Amino acid sequence: MSEPEIHPVPPGFAARAHVDAAAYAATYRRSVEDTEGFWCEQAAFLDWITPFTQVKDTSFALEDLRIRWFADGTLNASHNCIDRHLPAKADVPAILWEGDDPAERRTVTWGELADKVNRLANVLTGLGVRQGDVVTIYLPVIPEAVVAMMACVRIGAVHSVVFSGFSAEALADRIADARAKVLITADEGRRGGRAVPLKRNADRALERERAVAHVVVVRRSGADVPFTPGRDLWYDEAVAAAAPHCPPVAVGAEDPLFILYTSGSTGKPKGLVHTTGGYLVHTGTSWRTIFDWHEGDVFWCTADVGWVTAHTYKIYGPLLNGATSVLFEGVPTWPDSSRWWSIIERYRVNIFYTAPTAIRSLMREGEEPVRRHDLSSLRVLGSVGEPINPEAWRWYHRVVGGGRCPIVDTYWQTETGAVLLTPIPGAVPNKPGRAGKPYFGIRPVVVDAANAELAGPAEGNLCFADSWPAQARTILHDHGRFLRTYFAPFPGRFFTGDGASRDADGYYRISGRVDDVINVSGHRLGTVELESAIASHPAVAEAAVVGYPHPVKGQGVFAYVTLKGGIAESEGLRGEIVTRVRDRIGPIATPDVVQWAPALPKNRAGKILRRILSKAAAGDFADFGDTSTVADPDVVADIVARRRAARVDGAAGVP
Ligand code: PRX
């Protein structure tokens, strides 16, 4: 890849920024030389109930893994996110909400947010939810999602938000794994003019998971949905009847704050556990720094509440700082493809944070929908979730940002809780496609396959040498998997699962996952999870799923499917397989291509040779490398012949 151009910090920006180039260099050096001292100072950002006496107690050694931050301190997340802003901001908007239908708008002030959170916290207590219990939240992007999260943490309960695009089966899996007691959902969601049947999905999930004693249902659309007396209660009625004050409980810094599921390289989703003190310190302070937020700025992150991006930098980050943010329920292309730009204009958004896949899809609509709106309020743009290709970066910078806004390309993960690499605006000039430099206190290392650290410009596996406060502490009910996945591959280090290169200026470029995870439109999907969903169809003998380059999604889902003997290939069956995946996981996992494979290429030990399947899927037939290990070479020839005959959007070498 050629070296990208450098975009200096825009004139005038650095003068007002929280961090300039000199401050970045000095603070970064200090933060890695005295990591404890640095984070100790950062922790003053929060209100603590019991002050901590120890900052950091961490070790990445496999036999002695410890990730503990501020361990003997106590605090309450909802107090820090809401109560402490009330004296100055009770009447100031905390949330500017717009529904899928542009005519639906609501402003929620800090005072109103506090009132709803207190009341819902009392409702939950009344339903028997106690400190440490898990509440699953399956809601669209509506203010009640924020209220629900805050109500949980006010009483020390642990929220587990499940993306509202996940199917009933995926929801049931996550409820079961978390052993949730209460579910909070809505009658329906709305996306792109269509209804999302949340209550129906919830009811189906609960046919299987009967341990959930109560379901709190938000009336979002007013649709007539089934209601189970004794189990279900309406949110609005329960909140109206509840007592208006609920004192925030003292929670240990190392007590869990939330669980969030993500895909890994085995079939079962991982419930990453985040704890309270460290997560809030890192989230609150980094949000302010990386988006260069100043009092009065309006922030908008487009992520759905079901993902870590929304947890950290749409909900907790702005709330901890008392910032006003936009919440939008819908999609960028409905009613038309200027929807996002109209929202930026309407709410005078100053800081806008989204994903490369959305930028690529809006780029296809041309500049006209953007030009129709006044985006002069924008000052900082952000990108997250997948590598941003330089072409999309330049369009975002020039057309959306008018050439004057720095782009913070933030690299992090569900596991990392908060940002690890990013070009802090005002301090680090941008290079399109590069995720910048380490955040304060963060020590990235690039290692080769033998775990040797590579110095200077290098390419290899991206690891981190030391802990940071927002790091996930474990996988719920499976600490062994936590150790095996993140700490065993490169002993002494945290392994991200990503490949990366570092250039001569110390900028990092993420090349993508090096494990069995694919990144589709910024969503992580485990190939094994997809394969199990496909193989659960009775006609399927075996399936192998790989990612392939997709012009909008970054990666698309390419499924090779072997049918059971005697079953004929048909378009009908192809449709059933696609539906099976949507039912098992959700629409985000829809296979882009299903190619029939009478057999899959395997080595003599029976292991599927994914490298060959990935290359064929990408239309890269030139060099399959060493194929001498393939047990049956005719299988490869057949795969290639069928792939050549297929039309695949965007892949190289399409016939
Ligand atoms: O592959 C990296 C990619 O997204 C993965 C993490 O996904 P998830 O846990 O869903 O969190 C996404 C939002 C924080 C990473 O392992 N990724 C995330 N941010 C970037 C990225 N790849 C390149 N550049 C980024 N800025």
- pLDDT single digits (tens) 181-197: 999 999 999 999 999 99
Q: Is the pLDDT score of 655 beyond 60?
A: no
The per-residue pLDDT for 652 is 39
**Cβ pair 231, 210 in contact under 8 A:** no
Domain 521-645: what homologous superfamily?
ANL, C-terminal domain (3.30.300.30)
Range with lowest mean pLDDT among 118-127, 294-303, 311-320, 623-632: 623-632
Taking the CA of residue 496 as reference, the ligand 1 atom at the shortest distance is 16
Structure tokens belonging to residue 633: 């070479």
Taking the CA of residue 312 as reference, the ligand 1 atom at the shortest distance is 14
Cis peptide bond prior to 432, omega within 30° of 0: no
Confidence of residue 19 (pLDDT cuts 50, 70, 90): very high
The per-residue pLDDT for 11 is 78
User: Alpha helices of 291-412 — where are they, by DSSP H?
Assistant: 308-310, 317-321, 339-347, 356-363, 368-371, 390-395
Q: Is the pLDDT score of 651 beyond 60?
A: no
Average pLDDT over residues 41-52: 98
Enter the pTM of the model.
Answer: 0.96
The per-residue pLDDT for 154 is 99
Average pLDDT over residues 471-478: 98
Parse the chain into domains and list their residue ranges.
Answer: 521-645
Question: What's phi and psi for 447, nearest 5 deg?
Answer: -125, 155
Confidence of residue 627 (pLDDT cuts 50, 70, 90): confident
Taking the CA of residue 524 as reference, the ligand 1 atom at the shortest distance is 10
Q: pLDDT tens digit string along 581-604?
A: 999 999 999 999 999 999 999 998
Confidence of residue 632 (pLDDT cuts 50, 70, 90): confident
Average pLDDT over residues 104-117: 98
The per-residue pLDDT for 625 is 72
Q: Provide the CA 80 distance to its chain's centre, in angstroms.
A: 23
Best residue for ligand 1 mutational test, from 498, 511, 515 (most atoms within 8 Å of Cβ)? 498
Q: Is the pLDDT score of 391 beyond 80?
A: yes
Confidence of residue 654 (pLDDT cuts 50, 70, 90): very low
Average pLDDT over residues 12-36: 95
Q: Please indicate whether residue 311, judged by its CB atom, sits closer than 6 Å to ligand 1.
A: no
Distance CA 274, CA 474 (A): 8
Tell me how far the alpha carbon of residue 414 lies from the centroid of ligand 1, in angstroms: 8
Tell me how far the alpha carbon of residue 370 lies from the centroid of ligand 1, in angstroms: 26
Q: Is the pLDDT score of 335 beyond 50?
A: yes
Q: Please indicate whether residue 513, judged by its CB atom, sits closer than 6 Å to ligand 1.
A: yes
Tell me how far the alpha carbon of residue 509 lies from the centroid of ligand 1, in angstroms: 12
Give percent above pLDDT 70 in the chain: 99
Structure tokens belonging to residue 89: 């901001």
Best residue for ligand 1 mutational test, from 386, 437, 501 (most atoms within 8 Å of Cβ)? 386
Distance CA 410, CA 382 (A): 7
The per-residue pLDDT for 2 is 75
Q: Is the pLDDT score of 120 beyond 50?
A: yes
The per-residue pLDDT for 445 is 98
Provide the mean pLDDT of the chain.
Answer: 96
What DSSP string runs through 101-164?
A: STT-EEEEEHHHHHHHHHHHHHHHHHTT--TT-EEEEE--SSHHHHHHHHHHHHTT-EEEE--T
